[in-house]
Amino acid sequence: MLNFRHLYYFWVVTKEGGFARAAERLEMAVQTISAQVRELEKALGHQLLKPAGRGVALTEAGEVAFARAEAVFQIGQAIAEEVREAANHKVVRLSVGFSDGISKLAAHAMLAPILATPSLRLVCHEGEVKQLLAELAMHHLDLVLAGQSAPNSSNLRLTSERLVQSPVAWYGPVALVRKAEVAEFPKSLGRLPVLLPTSHSALRFSLDRWFETEGLRPRIVGEFEDSALMAVFAARGLGVFPVSQLGASDLALMHGLRLLGHSPGVSEEIHAIRSRRGQHHPLVMQLLDSARG
């Protein structure tokens, strides 16, 4: 069984850059800390630290151990905070992961039903689906919203459900979206400056197929991972852009945008992915019930 006190001393030595500074921080003798780190190296069977000038540096094995130690002590800090919050009954915490390709405007619209929850502490993370699912499996997240379902894996023990399949429309600034462009949509996309989601987005794949079917070659002037940022640039006159009907409910925040047209057969999907723990989180249940309704 790994001795976590030894791991902690190793972590502090690494963070401080040497045994002397670690001894100061911990108010312990240098010899004591050095002995504890040697015990850790003995238990793991590899040297973790090596001399570097007046301090120490990590070996390759030490880099792996330090990365894990960072995760362990971050979790330890989070446990203390969450226990304190639970004991005080003052904070309702919800940690949600958003995959890179998902429309942030649509995601915000999905979270709207719980935003007025008293004492809510909403923690939002963004990243690759694989990384977010790993965080979900380790219970660092309560829910992941993604443009695809969870892979079939008995190891992760996750469940996913498609909550939204929202039609896609095109919007743009008033200066670009004139009557002629609306009347000639979608052909007008061939001469208008077009903003698109990046290839991270499942929506981009659907749009590219739609362009091919319609025989369109859009003049792409910008690609964005964040749909909200794309809407901001569109509102400032850079181009026209696609957004799901769900995300369009937030476009009232973007003054000066006008509807250009719709893309039949193109939709944005949002899947809710949960661990077993997330299935019983009251806010997760509220979000899912609202989306199903």
Neighbouring residues of 71: CB distance < 8 A, sequence distance ≥ 6: none
Positive/negative CA dihedral, 163, 168, 169, 170: positive
Measured CA angle at 159 (ends 156, 161), to 5 deg: 145
Specify the pairing of strand 257-274 against strand 143-146: antiparallel
0.75 exceeded by pTM: no
Specify the pairing of strand 219-224 against strand 193-197: parallel
Cis-peptide, bond into residue 118, ω within 30° of zero: no
pLDDT, residue 199, reads 86
Secondary structure of the chain as H, E, C letters:
CCCHHHHHHHHHHHHHCCHHHHHHHHCCCHHHHHHHHHHHHHHHCCCCEEEECCEEEECHHHHHHHHHHHHHHHHHHHHHHHHHHHHHCCCEEEEEEEECCCCHHHHHHHHHHHCCCCCEEEEEEEECHHHHHHHHHCCCCCEEEECCCCCCCCCCCCEEEEEEEEEEEEEEECCCCCHHHHHCCCHHHHCCEEEEECCCCHHHHHHHHHHHHHCCCCEEEEEECCHHHHHHHHHCCCCEEEEEHHHHCCHHHCCCEEEEEEEEEEEEEEEEEECCCHHHCHHHHHHHHHHHC
Specify the pairing of strand 55-58 against strand 92-99: unpaired
Question: Which amino acid is located at 150 in the chain?
Answer: A
Alpha carbons 34 and 107: distance in angstroms, whole number: 50
pLDDT in tens, the chain (293 residues): 789 999 999 999 999 999 999 999 999 999 999 999 999 999 999 999 999 888 899 999 999 999 999 989 888 888 887 777 667 667 788 899 988 767 777 788 888 899 988 888 899 988 888 888 888 888 889 899 988 888 776 566 788 888 888 899 999 999 999 999 999 999 999 999 999 999 878 889 999 999 999 999 999 999 998 888 898 899 999 999 999 887 777 666 667 889 999 999 999 888 999 887 666 788 988 888 888 77
Which of 82, 50, 80 has the alpha carbon at shortest distance from 66? 50
